[in-house]
Amino acid sequence: MKKFEKIRSKYITKIVFSYLNEKYKLKVVKYNLSLQNKLEIKLKDYKKISGRFIIYETPTKGKEYITKNKQLIYEGDFLHGIREGNGKEYEPKNNILIYEGGFSKGKRDGNGKEYDPRERRLIYKGGFSKGIKNGNGKEYYDNGQLKFEGEYLNGKRNGKGKEYDKDGNLKFEGEYLNGERKKGKEYYKGKLEFEGEYSYGERKGKGKEYYEDKLVFEGEYSYGKKEGKGKEYYYYNGELIFEGEYLNGKRWNGKGKEYDDFFGRILFEGEYLNGKKWNGKEKKYYFNSKLLFDGRVFFIIYFIIIFIMWIRDWLFQKYLN
C-alpha cells in the first residue's frame, strides 16, 4: 500500500479492491452522511492522477484539487469521474481562472473562454475540440480590443479570418493555412495597402501594392520583397512609369523600361545593373515636349568617373594622415 500513500489524506477513510470488467480497480471511498462524497481511480491511471482528489457535491457536479497544497484546479460537471459538461479550470498556484466552458472526456470541448493567468484577462473565446482550438473563434489584445476573428483547426488559424490593430482598425482579411497568411488583403488605418499571395506569413507570389487606395505596383514577390517581373505606377494618375525586373525589392539586373509620368512616353529602354541604368536607349525632352536627346547611352562611363573620384578622395585622405 506504500505506493498509494500520495493519494491518501484526511479525505480518505477506506481503501478496498474489487474485480470489475476483468480489471482490478482501486476504490477510495469517503462516506459522509451529508454529501456522500466518493473518489474512484483506476489502477492504470494512478500515475496520471496521483496527487489529486475529487469531492463530489452532487451526482454530476464536483471540484478537483491537488492534494499536496489543496489547491482547486477544476470545478464543474463530471461523468464517471471524468470532466464532462461545463466547468472552470484554475491555475493551481494562485487559484486564477484560466478557462471556462465545455468539456468532453476530460478535455476542453465546445464553446469556451481562455484567460491569461498573469494578466488575468480574456485572450480567446470560441470553439474547442479535444483540448485545442477548433472552429470559429476570437482573440483579444491586452486592452480588450478584438485582435483576430476567424476559423481554427488543430489549434491554429486555418481558413477565413480577419486581423485588427489595437485601435480596432482592420489590418488583414483573407485565408490562413497552418496559422500563417496564405492569400488576402493588408490594410493600414483602414486603407488598402496590399493584396496578393503569401507563404509562411510573408508576401510571396503575385501581388499588388496600393497608396491611398491607388495602385502603385503589381508583380512578383519573394520573402516579403519585390522579386521578379513587375510594374510601377504613379498613384495620382495611374500612369505606368516602369516595367522590368526586381531583386530584393529594387529595380535590379535585367531589362526594363521607364516612362514619362504624364504623357506615357518611353524615357529609357535597356538593361539595369545593381539597380542602376547600365546600357540602353534614352530619350530626353524639353518642357514643350520637343525631343532633346535620342540615342544609345553606356552608363559604364558614369561609374568609371565615380570610381576615379572615389580613388582620388581616398588617396588624398591617406596623404593627409
The reply to whether 145 falls in a domain is: no
The dihedral sign for the CA sequence 117, 118, 122, 127: negative
Q: What is the pLDDT of residue 166?
A: 94
Q: What is the pLDDT of residues 290-309, one digit of tens each?
A: 444 444 555 555 556 556 66
Predicted local confidence at residue 280, as pLDDT: 59
Q: Is 8 a member of any domain?
A: no
Q: Kindly state whether residue 55 falls inside one of the protein's structural domains.
A: no
Give the domain CATH number at 199: 2.20.110.10
Kindly state the average pLDDT of the residues 177-200: 94
**115 domain residue, yes or no:** no
Domain count within the chain? 1
pLDDT digits (tens, 9 = 90+) for 83-123: 999 999 999 888 899 999 999 999 999 999 999 998 899 99
DSSP string, 90-109: EETTTTEEEEEEEEETTEEE
Q: Is there a domain that residue 302 lies in?
A: yes
pLDDT of res. 47: 37
Q: Which three cell numbers stand for residue 9?
A: 489524506
For residue 126, tell me if it sits in a domain.
no
Q: Which percentage of the chain shows pLDDT scores above 70? A: 61
Supply the mean pLDDT for the chain.
75
Domain that holds residue 312: 190-321
What is the model's pTM?
A: 0.68
pLDDT digits (tens, 9 = 90+) for 133-184: 999 999 999 999 999 999 999 999 999 999 999 999 999 999 999 999 999 9
Residue 114 counted as domain residue: no
CA separation (Å) from 144 to 164, 170, 303? 12, 15, 56
Contact of 127 with 134, CB cutoff 8 Å: yes
pLDDT tens digits for range 9-47: 333 333 333 333 333 333 333 333 233 333 443 433 333
Q: Which one is predicted more confidently, 316 or 15?
A: 316
